[in-house]
Amino acid sequence: MTPVTDIDEDGERLRLTRSGLLRGAAVSVVALSASGGAALSSSRARAAAPPKGTVTRYPLHLPPTTAPASLTLAEAPAVVDLGGGSYSNVWAYNGFFPGPSIVARSGDTASIHLVNGLSEETITHWHGMIVDERNDGGPRYAIAPGASYDYAFTINQRACLNWYHPHPHMLTGEQVNLGLAGAFIVRDSVEDALGLPFGAHEVPLIIRDATLDSAGNLQYKPRSGGFDGQIPLVNGTRNPYLAVDQSVYRFRVLNGANARIFGLALSSGAPFTLIGNDGGLLETQTNLSRIDVAPAERLDLLLSFAGLSVGQSVMLRDLRAGWDLLEFRVVAPGTGSVPTLSLPTITKLSNPVTTRTFSFDGMSKINGKLFDLNRIDFQVPFGQTERWRFITNGNAPHPVHIHGASFQVQSRTGGRGQVFPWERGWKDTVLLEDRETVEVLIRFDAFRGKYLIHCHKLEHEDMGMMSNFEVV
């Protein structure tokens, strides 16, 4: 075995040595997924190109839902249908790509048995869940192939869309990219009281990019500037469509890409109604015709199809890549326009006691340091409100993510020079572009223990743009 010495497009030697060595293992074991029960031929390249000018679209996959109690989640290779019978080798939770949507209520207890069915170490992190260190699934808790890990925690936070994904040291980009991610939805009585669309009218949309090899299997080709996939997938579906009626839908959007930012818009130019983000509902609803969403950020959007006739359709697009992401096909009558909601107020953090500055340097360092699994870089007093300032000296975008607490974005100066409507309320990930300074207020008031701050561009994270700190 030789270490990886690829020079990527940016001319920087990839430091993803462990991923590189293990890259070939991705397709070595094949298991049938629950959704891929059809006989598999040796050739999986069945996604034949349609005649020019037409795109065959496939029904959007909707992951099964599960409660968080007595849940076993196994990370293992699987074969899934990306749409229209094009089978692909992926890595999946319980054979599903994306993994099952965990749906819980605030106050519930999660007891989750994680099984490592991969050929390398892994651990699962519950992104956005405020849990103690032992349950946070950080890289110091990684388990060996064949081993298992038991989580037990109380869900004690407001309704929101969180998610789960692997978080092993230097292997996160590979494991997420090959398919390991799922939604973790929290509900509460405040949300219930709003009477938001539910059931078939509440749809999770996990949007990401992917690259397929010549046999149609997911292929992870890391580059230090960030993985740059060739096609979009929504809920693991290629060229998806969703059959809708003319009423109001609630879309729970997650950018599940390793590195790509999506500029979401509708082909009709009609606005989305934004009602929530990472940390749950916002205080005000806002109509927006474009929303830029960075890796790991979430959006809660309402959309009415009342303005379209049965038989018409509208496309969810990514204006950055010029991609069609998801076609909404109106197939049935319905009624309803987007309601005016009285959304909950959010208590503002204020009067920070200290300011800490974090410089996201190059592609692999924070404040000049590479991540060290065993080094604790700073201590944060429990219960104290602090101002954390994020700066960069190049190689952005850096989606900055913090474990252990949500934060409130105060300002962005330089660069885009504003805080966008989707950055209000409670956040756990905020996009930092070149020349920008972003300030947030944060208070760790749930648990003492060791947590992480890192870039959620997973290739930057794997190369070392991550830091351990301890709440004391």
Q: Would you tell me which residues interact with Cu ion (CB under 5 A)?
A: 398, 455, 457, 460
Q: Which of 343, 200, 328 is nearest to 268 (CA)?
A: 328
Asked whether 468 and 375 are in contact (CB, 8 A), the reply is yes
How many other CB atoms sit within 10 Å of the CB of residue 29?
Answer: 14
Contacted by 401, from Cu ion, ligand C2O, none: CB < 5 to 8 Å by type: ligand C2O
Contacted by 452, from ligand C2O, Cu ion, none: CB < 5 to 8 Å by type: ligand C2O
Contacted by 460, from ligand C2O, Cu ion, none: CB < 5 to 8 Å by type: Cu ion
Asked whether 206 and 293 are in contact (CB, 8 A), the reply is no
- Decide if residue 250 touches ligand C2O (CB under 6 A): no
Distance in Å, CB of 140 to ligand C2O, minimum: 12
Distance in Å, CB of 387 to ligand C2O, minimum: 21
Q: Which residues pair with 91 in a beta bridge?
A: 77
What residue has token string 């497009």?
A: 9
| C-alpha–C-alpha distance, residues 45 and 30, integer Å | 16
Question: Which of 127, 208, 252, 298 is close enough to bind ligand C2O by CB under 6 A?
Answer: 127
Asked whether 395 and 444 are in contact (CB, 8 A), the reply is no
- Decide if residue 296 touches ligand C2O (CB under 6 A): yes
Distance in Å, CB of 330 to ligand C2O, minimum: 35
Q: Which two tokens stand for residue 40?
A: 């598999």
Pairing status of strand 231-234 against strand 202-210:
antiparallel
Determine the 3-state secondary structure of 428 from DSSP.
Answer: coil
Number of residues that this document lists for the chain: 472
Give the interface size with ligand C2O as a residue count (CB under 6 A): 10
Q: Taking contact as CB under 6 A, which single stretch among the options 80-88, 153-161, 257-265, 450-458 is the one that binds ligand C2O?
A: 450-458
Q: Which of 300, 303, 274 is nearest to 288 (CA)?
A: 274
- Decide if residue 398 touches ligand C2O (CB under 6 A): no
Contacted by 296, from Cu ion, ligand C2O, none: CB < 5 to 8 Å by type: ligand C2O
Question: Which of 167, 260, 298, 387 is close enough to bind ligand C2O by CB under 6 A?
Answer: 167
Asked whether 397 and 261 are in contact (CB, 8 A), the reply is yes
Contacted by 455, from Cu ion, ligand C2O, none: CB < 5 to 8 Å by type: Cu ion
Annotate 53-112 with DSSP letters as a single string: T----EEPP---EE-STTEEEEEEEEEEE-STT-EEEEEEETTBSSEEEEEEETTPEEEE
What one-letter code names the amino acid at 436?
A: E
- CA torsion angle 114 102 349 192 (round to 10): -160
**Which CB atom, from 76 or from 366, has the smaller least distance to Cu ion?**
366
**Which CB atom, from 254 or from 455, has the smaller least distance to Cu ion?**
455
Distance in Å, CB of 398 to Cu ion, minimum: 3
**Which CB atom, from 387 or from 398, has the smaller least distance to Cu ion?**
398
Contacted by 167, from Cu ion, ligand C2O, none: CB < 5 to 8 Å by type: ligand C2O
Q: Give the x/- contact pattern for ligand C2O in 87-126, rule: CB under 6 A.
A: --------------------------------------x-
Distance in Å, CB of 144 to ligand C2O, minimum: 21
Asked whether 332 and 245 are in contact (CB, 8 A), the reply is yes
Distance in Å, CB of 128 to ligand C2O, minimum: 8
Determine the 3-state secondary structure of 165 from DSSP.
Answer: strand
Distance in Å, CB of 173 to ligand C2O, minimum: 11
Question: Which of 401, 424, 427, 457 is close enough to bind ligand C2O by CB under 6 A?
Answer: 401
Q: Taking contact as CB under 6 A, which single stretch among the options 35-43, 215-223, 311-319, 452-460 is the one that binds ligand C2O?
A: 452-460
- DSSP 8-class letter at 351: -
Q: Taking contact as CB under 6 A, which single stretch among the options 192-200, 354-362, 404-412, 449-457 is the one that binds ligand C2O?
A: 449-457
| C-alpha–C-alpha distance, residues 59 and 84, integer Å | 9
- Decide if residue 302 touches ligand C2O (CB under 6 A): no
Handedness of CA 381, 382, 385, 390 (dihedral sign): positive
- Decide if residue 454 touches ligand C2O (CB under 6 A): yes
Distance in Å, CB of 206 to ligand C2O, minimum: 13
